[in-house]
């Protein structure tokens, strides 16, 4: 269904009209959805629950309410329908009975799996990538973000068009079957390719402007907030720069980069708030958000924000580190900021309880003695909401920025002396 819709879209004559449709397409009015996840050999059930929780949050952010979760244990996904046929039947019955409009899979489906499932169950089917692209499309505000998202959408679509055609071709008997169908798809493919190169050109121009802007920022250290989505980067940005960046309890609240001048002590530096990372970030998005990520790549210092109240925070840290590696920003100086300590809780064990401790029994104090304490990066525990431990964090940021400042701009003979005076900052921070 979706592919068909896309095809209709790209055949549309008017470019502007088409672009608008492309971005505005699936506006979900809190439609009813179900989730489907598969446990494979290298996953356990706890992990699956965590992944499904995240998928449900993504679905909610996109505008769907989840009615039920379906899971299945498989040694390997079915090549035709991803899940087994019995499970597909069970889902079909549930969907019919409960008038479900959307099925969301946690994994990326191959084009033929998607097609077979839609044929079998007869409702709209989305995979994780599709869902994330959709959220980005709904949330992109500036023309820059919209251009990046549109590029990612077309890049997602293009191989699916190709492979879908290959699939049809095989059905029809292959070579020699050159009919009107193919011409149509060929035309659509050409239109998409043209559009992709147009968007790339457009982005190149913007990239150049942004690079110039970055170069014009003068001799100041640049720090960037990085971290998993929804950990509190924008909230921290607002607290540090007294600005008003949009923050909310949904995923990907921030798509556009915001840069603010921040002064700690007497030391001015630039702080960038940027898009959050997520597990299995679609590659199309990483690529088309290249210049947004340039802010991270070109930063002198990374402030890695972690939501320590989230039960999967360790996985999230790993995920962020992997993405940093992918964009080649993993060797920069970094500060680890463990946020949301106000929301942190743990199951304190009774003293006579001799069952082995799990991660759920670890207090903050004990966490600091794990890998966290041994980290080569300065580490601090804060709450961006209550501002607990802000003086400690500010001193830490100050020290790191100062180190970089001295090595970078040795002739910038300003005397920056550290002091923590909020009143002074109030005056300095209004840029
Ligand atoms: N309890 C608690 N909530 C917080 C804290 N910091 C941020 N939040 C909440 O966490 C949610 C996400 O905050 P954001 O600042 O939007 O997070 P972000 O990292 O910018 O998220 P994206 O832009 O979506 O990647 C919001 O509802 C904040 O109010 C904190 O220290 N404690
Ligand atoms: Mg944000």
Model confidence pLDDT, tens digit, residues 156-183: 888 776 544 444 444 444 444 444 455 6
CA of 402 to the centre of ligand 2 (A): 26
Cα 369 from Cα 173, distance rounded (Å): 65
Average pLDDT over residues 282-295: 75
What is the number of the ligand closest to the CA of 337? 1
Specify the residue with its C-alpha closest to ligand 1, atom 8.
232
Q: Which residues are annotated as a binding site for Mg(2+)?
A: 234, 254
Q: How much is the mean pLDDT over the chain?
A: 80
Q: State residue 216's pLDDT score.
A: 73
How far is residue 353 CA from its own chain's centroid? Answer: 40
Two tokens at 301?
């210092």
Q: What is residue 82's DSSP assignment?
A: B
Write the residue with the smallest CA distance to atom 2 of ligand 1.
Answer: 340
When comparing pLDDT for 56 and 283, which is higher?
56
Residues 6+ apart with CB under 8 A from 120: 81, 88, 92
Q: How far is CA 142 from CA 2, 136, 148, 375, in A?
A: 26, 12, 10, 38
Domains of the chain: 1-216 (3.40.50.11060), 220-346+356-429 (3.40.50.300)
CA–centroid distance, residue 325 to ligand 2 (Å): 21
User: Who's near 409: CB < 8 A, 6+ residues apart?
Assistant: 219
Task: Write down the pLDDT at residue 25.
Answer: 42
DSSP, collapsed to helix, strand or coil, labels residue 369 as: coil
> 43 versus 147: which is more confidently predicted?
147
Distance 49 CA to ligand 1 centre (A): 22
Distance 253 CA to ligand 2 centre (A): 5
Mean pLDDT of 191-195: 89
pLDDT tens for 42-70 read 777 888 898 899 999 999 988 889 999 99
ipTM of the complex: 0.99
pLDDT at 223 over 90: yes
- Mean pLDDT along residues 360-366: 84
Q: Provide residues with CB under 6 Å of ligand 1.
A: 227, 229-235, 247-249, 251-254, 276, 339-340, 342-343, 383-385
Q: What is the predicted pLDDT for the residue at 192?
A: 86
pLDDT given at position 118: 85
- Closest CA relative to residue 229, chosen from 165, 189, 274: 274
Distances 352 to 348, 349, 365 between C-alpha atoms, Å: 12, 8, 20
Of these ranges, 107-111, 295-299, 344-348, 395-399, the one predicted with the greatest mean pLDDT is 395-399
Question: 257 alpha carbon to ligand 2 midpoint, in Å?
Answer: 9
Give CA–CA dist 323/334, Å, rounded.
15
**Cα–ligand 1 centroid distance for 249 (angstroms):** 6
Query: Which of 62, 232, 245 to probe ligand 1 with, by most ligand atoms within 8 A of CB?
Result: 232
> Considering only CA atoms, which residue is closest to atom 11 of ligand 1?
249
Closest CA to 115 of 161, 148, 150: 161
Half-sphere exposure of 337 (CA within 13 A, CB side): 32
pLDDT of residue 344: 92
Average pLDDT estimate for 393-401: 95
- 28-37, 86-95, 178-187, 244-253: the lowest-pLDDT one: 178-187
Most confidently modeled of 87-91, 116-120, 212-216? 87-91
Pocket test for ligand 1, best of 234, 278, 307, 364 (most atoms within 8 A of CB): 234
Return the ligand 1 atom nearest residue 246 CA: 16
DSSP E strands, 281-391: 301-307, 334-339, 379-381
How confident is residue 36, by pLDDT bands cut at 50, 70 and 90?
very high
328 Cα to the center of ligand 1, angstroms: 26
Tell me the two tokens of residue 142. 């500036």
CA distance 19 to 11: 12
Q: Which of 294, 301, 90 is nearest to 208 (CA)?
A: 294
For 232-255, what is the mean pLDDT? 82
Closest ligand relative to 316 C-alpha: 1
Residue/partner pairs of 45-52 with CB below 8 Å, 24 or more apart: 50/311, 50/312, 50/315, 51/106, 51/279, 52/106
Q: Which residues are annotated as part of the binding site?
A: 227-234, 252-256, 273-276, 339-342, 383-385
pLDDT one-digit tens code per residue, 96-140: 999 998 899 998 888 788 888 988 888 888 888 888 888 888 888
Instruction: List the residue whose alpha carbon is closest to atom 6 of ligand 1.
Output: 232
């Amino acid at each position: 269904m979706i592919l068909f819709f896309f095809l209709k879209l790209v055949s549309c004559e008017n470019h502007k009209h088409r672009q608008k449709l492309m971005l505005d397409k699936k506006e979900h009015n809190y439609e009813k959805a179900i989730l489907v996840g598969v446990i494979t050999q290298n996953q356990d059930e706890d992990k699956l629950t965590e992944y499904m929780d995240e998928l449900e949050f993504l679905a909610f952010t996109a505008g769907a309410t989840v009615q039920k979760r379906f899971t299945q244990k498989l040694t390997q996904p079915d090549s035709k329908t991803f899940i087994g046929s019995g499970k597909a039947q069970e889902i079909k019955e549930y969907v019919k009975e409960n008038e479900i409009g959307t099925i969301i899979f946690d994994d990326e489906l191959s084009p033929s799996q998607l097609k077979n499932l839609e044929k079998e169950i007869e409702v709209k089917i989305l995979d994780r990538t599709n869902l994330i692209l959709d959220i980005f499309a709904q949330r992109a505000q500036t023309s820059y973000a919209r251009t990046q998202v549109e590029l990612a959408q077309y890049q997602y679509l293009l191989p699916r068009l190709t492979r879908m055609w290959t699939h049809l071709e095989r059905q029809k008997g292959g070579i020699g079957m050159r009919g009107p169908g193919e011409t149509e798809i060929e035309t659509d493919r050409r239109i998409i390719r043209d559009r992709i190169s147009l968007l790339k050109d457009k982005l190149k121009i913007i990239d150049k402007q942004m690079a110039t802007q970055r170069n014009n920022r003068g001799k100041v250290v640049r720090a960037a907030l990085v971290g998993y989505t929804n950990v509190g980067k924008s909230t921290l940005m607002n607290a540090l720069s007294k600005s008003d960046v949009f923050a909310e309890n949904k995923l990907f609240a921030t798509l556009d980069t915001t840069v603010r001048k921040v002064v700690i002590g007497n030391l001015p530096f630039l702080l960038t708030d940027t898009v959050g990372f997520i597990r299995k970030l679609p590659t199309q998005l990483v690529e088309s958000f290249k210049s947004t990520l340039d802010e991270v790549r070109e930063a002198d210092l990374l402030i890695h924000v972690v939501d320590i109240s989230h039960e999967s925070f360790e996985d999230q840290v790993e995920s962020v580190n992997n993405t940093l590696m992918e964009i080649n920003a993993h060797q920069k100086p970094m500060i680890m900021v463990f946020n949301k300590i106000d929301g942190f809780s743990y199951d304190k064990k009774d003293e006579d309880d001799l069952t082995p401790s799990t991660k759920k029994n670890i207090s903050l104090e004990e966490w600091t003695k794990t890998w966290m304490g041994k980290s080569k990066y300065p580490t601090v525990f804060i709450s961006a909401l209550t501002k607990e431990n802000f003086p400690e964090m500010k001193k830490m940021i100050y020290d790191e920025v100062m180190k970089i400042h001295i090595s970078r701009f040795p002739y910038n003979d300003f005397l920056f002396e550290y002091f923590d005076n909020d009143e002074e900052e109030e005056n300095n921070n209004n840029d």
